[in-house]
Amino acid sequence: MGKWLEGLRCSSCWRYSPPKTYTSSWECDYFFDDGATISKYVFQGQRKAVSTKFEVRCVRRKLLLEALANELPRGTIRYLSKVVAIEESGFFKILHLIDGTTIKTKVLIGCDGINSVVAKWLGFKEATYTERFAIRGCLELETNHSFEPILKQYFGKGFRAGVVPCDEKVVYWFFTWTPNSQDKELIQNPAKLKQYVLNKLENVPSYVKSFIEKTELDSFHLAPLRYRQPWKLIMGNISKGNVCVAGDALHPMTPDLGQGGCCALEDGVVLARCLAEAFSNKSKKEEKEEEYKRIEEGLKRYANERRWRCIDLITTAYIVGFVQQGNSKLVTFLRDKLFAPLLFGQLLKKSNFNCGKLNIP
């Protein structure tokens, strides 16, 4: 989680979210699995500094979406409305939906995820595959799990796994790895996949494995990891006229910093500020062209403000993932002996970004 939650302080989302979130430690425990023995890395001597400066929270996506949706007037959200084409119409855009209906809009903000139609319209190519995959699971227990509120991560040869409680009864876990040619058939078979994960994690504490064991197969979510190559963001159009992209449509990244969704929320705070400014300068007898220009300027400001933040996160996440999930002897040696504190620090430091407040002073 990042400072975006503070950015939303003025809305009831802020009041709604924290009680539903579970502060999950000011520290991460690192375990390096090199076969028979597991050594534990803790932030000796720095714990206090870390705890006062940074914080890791587990925010459940469903609760956050509900909180955000509850802020909007009824009927604002239109579900099951897949955009299939975008048409120019003077100072407006016309969206063609899959059911044949059209929507005319002054501003088009593409938050349509990694396969964004709007990003394609702006000239971005498809997100790049990394060959890595992630499995995520969420276990909802009927009784308290008694698991301390700490994010624990485990590193093995060619894989990374982690477990974190979301609240007293819910535990989230993940496992990332690069499948080889034999593993590929596992991808089609959730039962075998579960067994594969458990075998890989044979050296982690049994209570951690039990969370995965108890997770139902239909709660296993498998995804290939993709990202936007940073240099495509240096040159690409984040906005054009009255169109822009935000969230994964703009900055798909590997999940190694846990910042993709947080970055999307930062986009939202900055974009809302830029657009509010554009609309608040409206004069009474304004021509459509003037309004279009102000929107265009607002979106340009948004693009400039977000470009390097996105590039930074995509690049750092990719490098952190490459090193942490290291397969070669050299990379695992460097990871275990040199980079652990550095990588851990990045995880916290990058999430501590201040995107400012939602309201204009």
Ligand X SMILES: Cc1cc2nc3c(=O)[nH]c(=O)nc-3n(C[C@H](O)[C@H](O)[C@H](O)COP(=O)(O)OP(=O)(O)OC[C@H]3O[C@@H](n4cnc5c(N)ncnc54)[C@H](O)[C@@H]3O)c2cc1C
Q: Which residues bind ligand X (CB under 6 A)?
A: 81-83, 111-113, 117, 134, 136, 223, 247-249, 255, 258-262, 264
- As a whole number of angstroms, the distance between CA 195 and CA 147 comes to 23
- As a whole number of angstroms, the distance between CA 199 and CA 193 comes to 10
Minimum distance of ligand X from residue 361's CB (angstroms): 27
The nearer residue to ligand X, 264 or 355, going by C-beta atoms, is 264
The nearer residue to ligand X, 110 or 298, going by C-beta atoms, is 110
- As a whole number of angstroms, the distance between CA 163 and CA 212 comes to 9
Q: Counting beta carbons within 10 angstroms of the beta carbon of residue 254, is it exposed (0 to 12), middle (13 to 18) or buried (19 or more)? A: buried
Query: φ and ψ at 86, to 5 degrees?
Result: -125, 130
SS3 97: strand
Minimum distance of ligand X from residue 157's CB (angstroms): 20
Q: Which two tokens stand for residue 239?
A: 């906005």
The nearer residue to ligand X, 50 or 249, going by C-beta atoms, is 249
The nearer residue to ligand X, 49 or 223, going by C-beta atoms, is 223
Residue located via tokens 């039962």: 191
**DSSP character string of 53-96:** H---EE--HHHHHHHHHHTSPTT----S--EEEEEEETTEEEEE
Q: Are 204 and 227 in contact (CB under 8 A)?
A: no
Minimum distance of ligand X from residue 129's CB (angstroms): 12
The nearer residue to ligand X, 98 or 338, going by C-beta atoms, is 98
Minimum distance of ligand X from residue 330's CB (angstroms): 26
Minimum distance of ligand X from residue 235's CB (angstroms): 21
- The residue type of 241 is G
The nearer residue to ligand X, 82 or 192, going by C-beta atoms, is 82
Q: Which helix (H) or strand (E) holds 313?
A: helix 288-324
Minimum distance of ligand X from residue 163's CB (angstroms): 12
The nearer residue to ligand X, 25 or 259, going by C-beta atoms, is 259
Minimum distance of ligand X from residue 37's CB (angstroms): 28
Which residue number places its CB atom closest to ligand X?
Answer: 247
- As a whole number of angstroms, the distance between CA 290 and CA 164 comes to 50
Rg over CA atoms, the chain: 22
The nearer residue to ligand X, 113 or 356, going by C-beta atoms, is 113
Residue 3 CB contacts under 8 Å (≥ 6 apart), including other chains: 266, 352, 353, 354, 355
Minimum distance of ligand X from residue 287's CB (angstroms): 31
